[in-house]
Structure 1
Amino acid sequence: MSSIIKFYTDISLVLRIIIGIVLGAAIASMSGDWGTSISFLGGLFVSALKAVAPILIFILVISSLANQKSGQSSNMGGILLLYAFGTLSAATIAVLLSFAFPAQLDLVAGDLSRAAPQGISEVLSTLLFKIVDNPINALLTGNYVGMLAWAIGLGVLLRGANENTKFFLQDISNSVTGLVQFVIQLAPIGIMGLVAGTVASTGFSALGTYAHLLGLLVGTMLLVALVVNPLIVFVKTRKNPYPLVFTALQGSGITAFFTRSSAANIPVNMQLCKKLELDEDTYSVSIPLGATINMAGAAITITVMTLAAVHTLGINVDLPTALLLCVIASVGACGSSGVAGGSLLLIPLACSLFNIPNDVAMQVVGVGFIIGVIQDSAETALNSSTDVVFTAAVSRNAN
């Protein structure tokens, strides 16, 4: 058994994931029932990631801050600046491409069981209340903003603790990290199940109607990932950004594409930052925070889907309104939940800027759920990989 495990772990994780993707697609193509049968493996993998992520973040942040040496910088200011600028840039690119290649929708109602926020004040209010959430409830519900607030507070106060307490926290942190590494090793099997379940249930046939819209969404995200983000990194570091960008897309983007959850991908990003030898005091905070507020992909989705509704209804848009849409999409994206489809419920908020009725806006959300198998996957891959890219850019530039 040990030799089998060694053979499995000696193969590159990326290669194993690619094999899992091919096997999952092949199994579902041969038999939809087989694909459905093994889809539970994907659900188990995503659930395991979501289970381990909250306790990992809580313990790791407390341990990192408690053991941080006096006067040591965490570089968080620079990372937050890149998060904000990157999200706003993504929304701006989405506006430009939406006017260059306007998309229209066949508005159809979908399964819209969740309520959308009614204004930007509601989004900001939700964020503030998440910060003061009960720490136990934050852990149980995956409220990473609340977890970070409590972990940072406890970590700072524990700087004055005795060395034995700090060593204990470090040992607990190392043990939880070991559990995370074990879960990540199961990624190829989990992704095989996710791919099989997706192919078996959708077959992607329903996506043909929205090929233009999907092309606009995915094309914009690729442009941001391969041109805008590298340009931002180059300006920050004055070095070739593409080795870092491709490493992040390979190590973070692939798993995020299939898990479709920034929250579930936090342990993967943590492991990648460790592999890149970044400062643990920095990435232990920036990665979970990025999974909450660094949402370039979400800003693109909100902007493109809103302007598709605008073009469908024949509404004229002037430059000031387009710029305001960029800001609303960027701020609203920070309030989107780090779960599959989280950004779609913020589309009515952006549509309200153009006086689009809420029932029409919710039909646009319905279209979003139809194409979500591709849109949300690409969005999450961009969001999650960008967290690593910007964290590494600031950390390496500071050294």
Structure 2
Amino acid sequence: MKNLLNKWSHVSLVKRILIGIMIGTIFALTIPNAVSWISIFGELFVGALKAAAPILVLFLVMHAISKHKQGHKTNMKSVIALYAVGTFLAGLTGVIASFLFPVNLSLTTGADNLTPPSGILEVLETVLFNIVDNPINALINANYIGILVWAVLFGIALKGASESTKNMLESFSNAISTIVKWVINLAPLGIMGLVFNAIATNGLSALLDYGKLLLVLLGSMIFVALIVNPIVVFLSIRQNPYPLVLTCLKESGITAFFTRSSAANIPVNMELCKKLDLDKNTYSVSIPLGATINMAGAAVTISVLTLAAVHTLNIEVDMITAVLLIVLSAVSAAGASGVAGGSLLLIPLACSLFGISNDIAMQVVAVGFIIGVLQDSCETALNSSTDVLYTATAEYAKNRRDEAK
């Protein structure tokens, strides 16, 4: 048994995950009634990652900033600029795709009990209140904006602390990282449960009615992942971007697709950054920050579903309003993590640009929930993998500039 476990642990994580997917699919097709005891593996896996991630982020960021020495430059400005550019271009892609392939919806109900934000000011207000959240409350509720702010403040305050205190912080960071590695090794079992639950309880038949919408939505996300992002990376590092792009999609995107949580995927991204030999002072801050504000997939979702409502109602769209939608999609996506319901609940806000009533907009939100088994998975995969991609791009671009001097 020990030899078998050793052989299993030496198989790459991606291959183990694929095995988990196959087993979960087989179980869902053969014993669909065994929902409770198989799907619990997926719930436990995601729960464990979500439990460990906030503490890991707090200590990693706090330790990185406290140990930061004056004169040691990080790439945070470049990373944040890339996050902003990437999210804007994702919104642009969604808008262009919606005009090229207009979609009409069969509007439904089922989102009546949800309350969308009343405007962009409410989104920003929520973000601001998350920033000043109690640190304990932020940890309990996985409020990553609040956690990041407190981690930065603690890190700055601890810059003058003794080396023994900083070493203690490092020891805590290493210990939590080790625990996270243990959890990640259970990914195949957890993803088996997640796949089983998705197929056994939801099925895929409900998705067939929204096939064209899904094609536009997922096609836009794939276009961003395989065309737009590589162009941005190439312009930054001036070399073939695809080895880095495909590595990020494989190592980060696959797990994010199944966990459907950027927060839960933070430990996976941290491990990938370490594997890519990136500067820990940068990625210990940029990865949790990216899980909070780098939302290219959310920008695509907001723009595509909003324009689907517009086309359904035969509303004419002028160029100025289209540009406003792109900007609003990007800004709203960055604030999506501070709003209950994520990107889907920001659709009514975007619909208000075209004078679409809340009743109609919430029916579009309901459509989003129906296709969420694929939409949310692909959105998270794009969001999370791009965090590592742009962190690495910023560092490689800096190295290229240094070599050119």
Mark yes or no: TM-score above 0.5: yes
8 Å contact from structure 1 (residues 24, 35) kept in 2: no
What is the aligned partner in structure 1 of residue 73 from structure 2?
73
Q: Partner of 2:33: helix, strand, or coil?
A: helix
What is the aligned partner in structure 2 of residue 244 from structure 1?
244
The CA deviation at 1:106 is 0.4
Equivalent residue pairs, number: 399
What is the aligned partner in structure 1 of residue 232 from structure 2?
232
What is the aligned partner in structure 2 of residue 372 from structure 1?
372
Aligned counterparts of 1:182 and 1:395: Cα–Cα separation in 2: 28
8 Å contact from structure 2 (residues 111, 365) kept in 1: no
Q: Partner of 1:343: helix, strand, or coil?
A: helix
What is the aligned partner in structure 2 of residue 57 from structure 1?
57
* Structure 1 pair 216–340 and aligned structure 2 pair: CA distance change class (3 A): farther
Find out whether 1:277 has 2:277 as its counterpart: yes
The CA deviation at 1:397 is 2.0
The CA deviation at 1:9 is 1.0
Structural mapping, 1:64-213, within 5 Å: 64-213=64-213
How big is each residue's C-alpha offset from its partner over 1:52-77, in whole Å with a ceiling of 9 and x where there is no partner? 00000000111111112221112100
What is the aligned partner in structure 1 of residue 6 from structure 2?
6
What is the aligned partner in structure 1 of residue 31 from structure 2?
31
The CA deviation at 1:341 is 5.2
What is the aligned partner in structure 2 of residue 215 from structure 1?
215
**What TM-score results when the alignment is normalised by the length of structure 1?**
0.98
Q: Partner of 2:324: helix, strand, or coil?
A: helix
Aligned counterparts of 1:338 and 1:9: Cα–Cα separation in 2: 37
What is the aligned partner in structure 2 of residue 389 from structure 1?
389
What stretches of structure 1 of length at least 5 have no aligned partner?
A: none
What is the aligned partner in structure 1 of residue 18 from structure 2?
18
What is the aligned partner in structure 1 of residue 403 from structure 2?
none
* Structure 1 pair 117–340 and aligned structure 2 pair: CA distance change class (3 A): closer
Range that drifts further, 375-384 or 66-75: 66-75
Aligned counterparts of 2:363 and 2:347: Cα–Cα separation in 1: 10
* Structure 1 pair 330–337 and aligned structure 2 pair: CA distance change class (3 A): same
The CA deviation at 1:162 is 1.0
Find out whether 1:332 has 2:332 as its counterpart: yes
How big is each residue's C-alpha offset from its partner over 1:12-50, in whole Å with a ceiling of 9 and x where there is no partner? 100000000011011101121135530111010000010
Aligned counterparts of 1:2 and 1:30: Cα–Cα separation in 2: 30
What is the aligned partner in structure 2 of residue 289 from structure 1?
289
What is the aligned partner in structure 2 of residue 258 from structure 1?
258
1:251 alignment partner AA: E
1:322 alignment partner AA: A
Q: Partner of 1:373: helix, strand, or coil?
A: helix
How big is each residue's C-alpha offset from its partner over 1:146-198, in whole Å with a ceiling of 9 and x where there is no partner? 11111111111211111111111111111111011111101111000000000
Aligned counterparts of 1:361 and 1:261: Cα–Cα separation in 2: 25
How big is each residue's C-alpha offset from its partner over 1:339-377, in whole Å with a ceiling of 9 and x where there is no partner? 995210000000000010001100000000000001110
Q: Partner of 2:232: helix, strand, or coil?
A: helix
How big is each residue's C-alpha offset from its partner over 1:83-142, in whole Å with a ceiling of 9 and x where there is no partner? 001000010111111000001100000144331101001111111111111111110110
8 Å contact from structure 1 (residues 36, 201) kept in 2: no
Aligned counterparts of 2:219 and 2:158: Cα–Cα separation in 1: 47
* Structure 1 pair 158–292 and aligned structure 2 pair: CA distance change class (3 A): same
* Structure 1 pair 374–339 and aligned structure 2 pair: CA distance change class (3 A): farther
The CA deviation at 1:396 is 2.1
2:78 alignment partner AA: G
2:180 alignment partner AA: V
**What TM-score results when the alignment is normalised by the length of structure 2?**
0.96
What is the aligned partner in structure 1 of residue 402 from structure 2?
none
* Structure 1 pair 338–201 and aligned structure 2 pair: CA distance change class (3 A): farther
Aligned counterparts of 1:222 and 1:85: Cα–Cα separation in 2: 17
* Structure 1 pair 339–378 and aligned structure 2 pair: CA distance change class (3 A): farther
2:291 alignment partner AA: A
What stretches of structure 2 of length at least 5 have no aligned partner?
A: 400-405
Q: Partner of 1:33: helix, strand, or coil?
A: coil
1:331 alignment partner AA: V
Range that drifts further, 307-316 or 128-137: 128-137
